[in-house]
Amino acid sequence: MMEKLQEVLYEREKVLWEGKPEPFSLLDDTYKRPLLITWVISVAVVAAFLAFYIPF
46 vs 16: which has the higher pLDDT: 46
Domain that holds residue 41: 22-56
For residue 9, being part of any structural domain is answered with no
For residue 54, being part of any structural domain is answered with yes
Q: Give the pLDDT confidence score for residue 24 in this predicted structure.
A: 82
Residues 6+ apart with CB under 8 A from 25: 31
Residue 2 scores a pLDDT above 80: no
Across 14-21, average pLDDT: 84
Backbone angles phi, psi at 11, to 5 degrees: -60, 135
For residue 5, being part of any structural domain is answered with no
Q: Give the pLDDT confidence score for residue 4 in this predicted structure.
A: 84
Number of domains in the chain: 1
Sign of CA dihedral 22, 27, 29, 33: positive
pLDDT interval class at 7 (50, 70, 90): confident
Q: How many Å apart are CA 33 and CA 42, to the nearest integer?
A: 14
